[in-house]
């Protein structure tokens, strides 16, 4: 019951954007740990993830370091033979923590180490073993420009049509990578083709997928503007609606992507 209460409080705090309550939920999770059962390991993982999330929001190095230590301990205790998923999740969260520290401190070494941790997490199992865990790791690795577009496309195909948060997140990451690759070689025809595909599927898309596609459309318009100098109209409305739709459904990662793009447009 204590664990359920802590998780419900974390969910409510996340939806409300209440960072103080989020930190309090992490403390409740820590108090609910009773031993070394599978449930206790999950609670420790959730508690470390909350500490990581709170540290990122507050840009507080102490919390990020605390989360990293907790996750490091989980990696040590989770056997790759007996608990590969627990180990992979802990490695992926360690990588996310290092990425956050790198962003706060501008530390290139931490960024490179984070990539190594994401790679190590991905090696723990195959897409057939735990598809959604594999998709989550590909989303985390999407910040690495060397990651093949094929992996993001594969991750998207595993979640397609299921109205999943992970599905919408990987859809947005795949579109963004595809646009970046087209822009790098000046492929305007490729961008137009991608835009046509996005417009064709928007009427039938779920709200989350629609948000991802709106962000993708904005990325295309901005890339074309950079290549041709032509003005990109309607971006404010497009990105504002995408952020609102994602925020209403508690998907902060998409809302923040839309809002970051909107801020860059207004700057």
pLDDT of 52-94, one tens digit each? 777 777 777 777 777 777 777 877 877 777 778 888 888 888 8
C-alpha of 156 from chain center:
14
DSSP 36: S
Q: How far is CA 53 from CA 6, 23, 80, 224, 264, in A?
A: 15, 9, 25, 34, 24
Residue 85 sits in the same domain as residue 190: no
Q: What is the pTM of this model?
A: 0.74
Do 165 and 121 lie in one domain? The reply is: no
Residue ending a domain, among 107, 125, 143, is 125
119-148, pLDDT tens digit by residue?
888 887 788 888 888 898 888 887 656 678
Residues 3, 105: one domain?
yes
| Residue from 55, 160, 33, 49 nearest 103 by CA | 55
Residue labelled with tokens 């404010």: 236
Q: Report the sign of the C-alpha dihedral through residues 257, 135, 123, 10, in that order.
A: positive
- For the chain, give the mean pLDDT: 83
**Residue labelled with tokens 């990105």:** 239
Q: Which pLDDT does position 216 carry in this prediction?
A: 94
Identify whether residues 12 and 112 lie together within a single domain: yes
Ranges of the chain with pLDDT below 50: none
Considering the domain boundaries, does residue 261 fall inside one? yes
**End position of a domain, from candidates 69, 98, 125:** 125
Asked if the structure places residue 135 within a domain, the reply is no
- Host domain of residue 67: 1-125
Domain count for the chain, please give it. 2
Residues 116 and 174 reside in one and the same domain: no
The rounded Cα 22 to chain-centroid distance in angstroms is 18
User: What is the reported pLDDT for 162?
Assistant: 80
Residue 67 located in a structural domain: yes
Domain boundary among 69, 101, 125: 125
Query: What is the CA angle 253-258-131, rounded to 5?
Result: 35
Residues 120 and 165 in one domain: no
Residues with Cβ < 8 Å from 178, sequence gap 6 or more?
Answer: 149, 194
Asked whether residue 143 is assigned to any structural domain, the reply reads no
* 42: CB partners within 8 A, 6+ apart: 86
Same domain, 118 and 185: no
What's the CATH number where 56 sits? 1.25.40
- 92 with 188, same domain: the answer is no
Residues 121 and 186 in one domain: no
What distance in Å separates the CA atoms of residue 245 and residue 255, rounded to the nearest whole number? 8
Do 178 and 243 fall into the same domain? yes
Report the pLDDT value the prediction gives residue 195, as an integer from 0 to 100: 92
3-state secondary structure of 200: helix
DSSP state of 229: -
Give domain status of residue 84, yes or no.
yes
105 and 173 in a single domain? The answer is: no
Residue 145: inside a domain: no
Asked whether residue 150 is assigned to any structural domain, the reply reads no
Would you say 88 and 125 are in contact if contact means Cβ atoms under 8 Å apart? yes
**Domain annotation covers residue 137:** no
Statement to judge: residues 249 and 185 lie in one domain: yes
């Amino acid at each position: 019951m204590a664990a359920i209460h802590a998780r419900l409080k974390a969910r409510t705090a996340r939806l409300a954007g209440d960072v103080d309550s989020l930190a309090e939920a992490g403390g409740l999770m820590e108090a609910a740990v009773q031993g070394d059962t599978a449930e206790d390991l999950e609670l420790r993982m959730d508690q470390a993830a909350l500490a990581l999330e709170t540290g990122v929001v507050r840009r507080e190095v102490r919390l990020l370091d605390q989360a990293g230590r907790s996750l490091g301990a989980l990696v040590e205790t989770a056997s790759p033979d007996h608990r590969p998923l627990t180990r992979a999740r802990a490695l992926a969260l360690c990588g996310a923590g290092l990425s956050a520290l790198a962003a706060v401190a501008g530390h290139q070494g931490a960024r490179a180490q984070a990539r190594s941790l994401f790679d190590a997490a991905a090696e723990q199992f195959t897409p057939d073993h735990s598809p959604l865990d594999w998709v989550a790791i590909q989303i985390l690795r999407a910040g690495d420009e060397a990651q093949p577009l094929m992996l993001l496309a594969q991750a998207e195909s595993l979640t397609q049509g299921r109205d999943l948060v992970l599905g919408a997140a990987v859809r947005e990451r795949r579109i963004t990578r595809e646009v970046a690759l087209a822009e790098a070689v000046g492929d305007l025809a490729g961008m137009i083709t991608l835009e046509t595909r996005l417009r064709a599927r928007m009427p039938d898309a779920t709200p989350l997928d629609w948000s991802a596609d709106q962000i993708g459309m904005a990325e295309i318009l901005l890339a074309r503007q950079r290549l041709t100098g032509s003005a990109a109209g309607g971006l404010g409305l497009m990105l504002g609606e995408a952020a609102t739709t994602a925020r209403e459904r508690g998907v902060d990662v998409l809302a923040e992507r839309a809002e970051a793009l909107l801020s860059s447009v207004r700057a």
